[in-house]
Amino acid sequence: MKTRLTIISLAGGIALGCFAGLAHADPVDDTLEIDGQPMITRAPAPEGHPFDEVLSGWLFREAETRAVEADSFQNPGMLEVERAAEIWSTPEGTAGKSCETCHGDVSESMKGVGAHYPKWDKDANRPINIELQIDKCRTEQMGAEPYKFDAKDQKAMTALIKNQSLGEPMSVDLSQGDMQSWWDRGKDTYYTRTGQLNLSCSNCHEDSMGNMIRADHLSQGQVNGFPTYRLKQSALVSLHNRFRGCIRDTRAEFPKAFSDELMALEVYVTWRGTGLSVETPAVRQ
Amino acid sequence: MKTGSAFFLSGAMALAAVTFAGTANAADTAPNDVAFNEMQVSESLTGMPGDPAAGADAFKNRKLGNCLACHTTTAMESELFHGNVGPDLDGAGSRWTEAQLRAIVVDAKQVFGPDSRMPGFYSLHVGKNVAEKFHGKTILSAQDVENIVAFLVTLKDE
């Protein structure tokens, strides 16, 4: 029997880079299996994509970090997924219902669901992601409060649902509702330079992909591992938190989580990763 | 300390260390008044020569130039974590004149064109939605720029 390890010391151990960091300037030539299940970490890009091939962020991480992700017994993010499985069956709110009351076994009802979000939501007349779908059920079906952005349970529940799509290739359906115009808007944001440093997402994740920026190996900035488990923070990190962090790093004001601007960005960036397996919870330094 | 990937630190310390356009030395050339002439800025921004040792410090300091975020150079070999978004700077002092190096540091887009990924370190031509605490402010002071230029000039070919 394997036992779980909580590997926090790794994060410190990796800080060796220096000039040696340059040796890792290319994504690794390696394949990822999580508990023996193969993941698609390289996929042919969809038409109209700036790259020929889309690459999972896993290929850009250090060997130790990659190994932790490949073994779900070592992946501390899985503890949060397990915790969320308990929340799944715990009644909350005025209706006295749990997620399980309506959806039954999460591994059956939610299989493959998270790989195809954001989805058009007719009621809201905008795309919603998994976090907002959970809130929708909490408020409309359970009589419970929506989660506060980045509440521990919000990240855990999102990870639980996405984890039911582990290995499934991501795609978004742009033919629903007004999805195409949200994609367009997200694309504009992606190529807009922000902040005092005057940099766009594309300046780092497209033009500089594979380069080192200080200690960080720049990936394509893909979303397929979110929420990710950050060893440095010993916590799950949500996608909108990551978006905001990247924007803040340009010394710009950052939009609110789930704002139209960041939802459009999620639609567009998810499309940029079309065909990559969901790896939630991926492990990052 | 900040966690996460913030590659340029922007905390209160950074603010204390930077001399802003608004409070800059009266003798300094203001960011919008810097005269570019054929991709060169010939005049010192402070009217004085810079200090190469202070320039080396500002070059590596994550709150100031943080030039190592994107550049390698043998002169900084003992420092951890050199990026390679931009070219290696060994020999930059031989490839470029002092006036050209000043132009590159002040506003690289005036030299390399609008698509350059190098930030303008003494320029108010910035991106959208600049964070409030950086409004109307440059990344470096005129003095920092002069010091860094004085350091770059020392990066000669063997």
Average pLDDT score over residue span A1-5: 40
pLDDT tens readout for residues B97-108: 999 999 999 999
pLDDT tens readout for residues A160-184: 999 999 999 999 999 999 999 999 9
Catalogue all structural domains in chain B, each as residue range(s) with its CATH number.
Answer: 3-22+30-153 (1.10.760.10)
Residues paired with A278 in a beta bridge? A166
Give the pLDDT of residue B14.
45
Give A227→chain B minimum CA distance, Å: 15
- A21–B128 C-beta distance less than 8 A: no
Give the pLDDT of residue B6.
66
d(CA A83, CA A228): 16
| For chain A, domain boundaries | 20-74+168-284, 83-163
Question: Which amino acid, residue B24?
Answer: A
pLDDT tens readout for residues A91-122: 999 999 999 999 999 999 999 999 999 999 99
Give A262→chain B minimum CA distance, Å: 14
Residues paired with A217 in a beta bridge? A212
**Distant-in-sequence, close-in-space partners of A94: CB < 8 Å, separation ≥ 6:** A142, A143, A144
**Distant-in-sequence, close-in-space partners of A216: CB < 8 Å, separation ≥ 6:** B5, B7
What is the reported pTM? 0.93
State the virtual CA torsion across B88, B90, B92, B95 in degrees, nearest 10.
-100
Interface predicted TM-score of the whole assembly (ipTM), two decimals: 0.90
Q: Which positions of A are catalytic?
A: 246
Question: DSSP letter at A155?
Answer: H
How many Cβ atoms from other residues are within 10 Å of residue A173's Cβ?
Answer: 12
Give the pLDDT of residue B10.
62
Give the pLDDT of residue B27.
87
Query: Which residues of chain A neighbour B130 with C-beta distances below 8 Å?
Result: 194-196, 251-253
Nearest CB among A214, A232, A253 relative to B69 is that of A214
Give the pLDDT of residue A188.
98
Give A72→chain B minimum CA distance, Å: 23
Between B8 and A258, name the one with better pLDDT. A258
Give the pLDDT of residue A25.
61
Mean pLDDT (chain A, rounded): 92
d(CA B47, CA B55): 16
Sign of CA dihedral A253, A259, A264, A265: positive
**Distant-in-sequence, close-in-space partners of B14: CB < 8 Å, separation ≥ 6:** B63, B64
Give the pLDDT of residue A4.
44
Number of H helices, E strands in chain A: 11, 11
What is the third-level CATH fold of A83-163? Cytochrome Bc1 Complex; Chain D, domain 2 (1.10.760)
Query: Which residues of chain A neighbour B63 with C-beta distances below 8 Å?
Result: none
Closest Cα to residue A211, out of B106, B89, B69, B127? Answer: B69
Superfamily designation of domain A20-74+168-284: Cytochrome c-like domain (1.10.760.10)
pLDDT tens readout for residues B5-47: 567 876 444 444 444 444 468 789 999 999 999 999 999 999 9
- A17–B127 C-beta distance less than 8 A: no
